[in-house]
Chains A and B, each alone.
Chain A
Amino acid sequence: MGEMQGTPITQQSADPRAISFRPNVVATVIDKGAVLLDLTSKYFYSVNSTGWFIVESLESGATRRDILERCASCGMSTDLAASVDAFINTLEDYGLLDAASGPPETCDAPYSGEWETPTIERHREPLQRIMASAFDPSLPLAE
């Protein structure tokens, strides 16, 4: 791992592909982080504040290097660059990411507070895929 002009470089940050969240992944901010819901799998996830900062970059598409640059500009020390890659790898493993459909867009959302390792936790059970009715999310009764 080395540095060039203050931006931490990792092996994976050399990947030029822009990535973004799949359109069916929705996110909402909570205190100290965010909740993500994958409408396809119905799994939902909790991310901490630094995780949300990275998620925001991915909502409009970004390369891994773009994300590392943003994180470094907000106080991330170079020895935490691998944790950012690991976080993005986990998003990919959960099937939340896809190749960005267009050129990446600059994300200017600020980050405040002390930088910490980004985390994501998938909640154990997904939400119901088949509902009893438009009002009732329970499992339909067998007929």
Chain B
Amino acid sequence: MIGSLYRCGPLAVELHVSDSALKDKVAETLNLYTVEWPIAGTPIRIEVSESQEPASMLGGGYLTCGRMNVDATPLGLAATCRSGASCHSDGSRKNWVIEVPRVTTTGETVPEDIEDLVGLILTTGLRDLRWVTLHSGCVTTDSTCALLCASSGGGKTTLTAALIRRGWKTLGDDKLLLGLDETGDPVLLSLINNFNLHPNTRRWFPEVGDLSVLPRYSAWTEKRKVRVEDIWPESMLEKAWPTHLIEIHRRNGKSGLSIEGLDTDQLLSVLLRQTVIPHEPNVAREILSALTATAPRLCGVKLVIGESAYRDDSCLAALEDALL
């Protein structure tokens, strides 16, 4: 097996897999991380092989996800998924083996769970480099850089797109890295320059075109993956220093928007919910430390936004006034 190399932010992932279907699936996930970092990547090795039997679900003592449980063992991390696919690392957590059963418990030939396993491998590597992974969007202009926080489907991408159309730039819509720079200031870095857009986005932003002709991003969503620069050229940035946090509450069927401030405790609560914190004290402490150092540096805003506001210049101008 000859290894294929993928750059995923600060990681250099070497993939070894002989089955072409499995390779395509793993590569699909690795190729999401399209922002090239100008540094030599920390090597991570992934070997994918076939197993005879589906793996039994682990307890999830380290991390419990919807379709994947992860345990920490003296030998490294181990994860199992509902399909019976599994992975485990060595003690360094830099060398991983993904095993895909010939017959999965879910009947899939190439299970969707592989994306979860690859995500675990990448986030582990990123945390080992002291980055905090954030499931947030980010928009920036002049001296303002705002983290956009909402649950999946809660409007991060839509608001990002609305502000891009007004001249803002973005670091991404749902996967960012947070760290502390050499002066101890929080800094955000981009990982992905694609958006996951629902075909309905067209009714606000006709320039996205008919997204329904594209393949779905995953089996669990109607969204499609699109390259941001193909729709909004020169809108991507790679690095920014956050100044604000916006907690987004979308109200379907409503119009307009309302803005109110968040106090420090509320802001910290929102920020803590933007990341996965494994059930391992040393790892959790690092994450908590970075987030509590970041929270006091941000000005927090709670935004309740109706559907029509994304195309309403007066509403978006009001939001900008609150941020600038």
Name A residues whose Cβ lies closer than 8 Å to a Cβ of B: 23-24, 26-31, 35, 37, 39-40, 44, 46, 121, 123, 125, 127-141, 143
Contact = CB atoms under 8 A, between A and B. Distances in A.
B288 A31 contact: no
B288 A35 contact: yes
Given A30-B292, A133-B65, A135-B276, 4 more contacts: A39-B284, A44-B269, A131-B65, A134-B70
Q: Which of B67, B119, B272 has the most CB of A within 10 A?
A: B272
**Per DSSP, are chain A's interface residues mostly helix, strand or loop, or mixed?**
loop
Interface of B: 63-68, 70, 115-116, 119-120, 122-124, 133, 135, 151-152, 174-175, 220, 265, 268-269, 272-277, 279-281, 284-285, 288-289, 292-293, 295-296
A129 B176 CA distance: 21
A137 B281 contact: no
Nearest to A123: B269
Contacts of B115: 133
- Please list the 3 inter-chain residue pairs (A to B) with the smallest Cβ-Cβ separation, ordered nearest first: A140-B66, A134-B120, A28-B289
A95 B34 CA distance: 44
A28 B152 contact: no
A134 B123 contact: yes
A135 B288 contact: no
Given A26-B285, A28-B289, A127-B273, A138 B65 contact: no
Given A131-B63, A131-B65, A30 B123 contact: no
A23 B285 CA distance: 12
Nearest to B288: A28
Given A37-B288, A141-B152, A30 B296 contact: yes
Given A23-B281, A39-B277, A127-B273, A135 B123 contact: yes
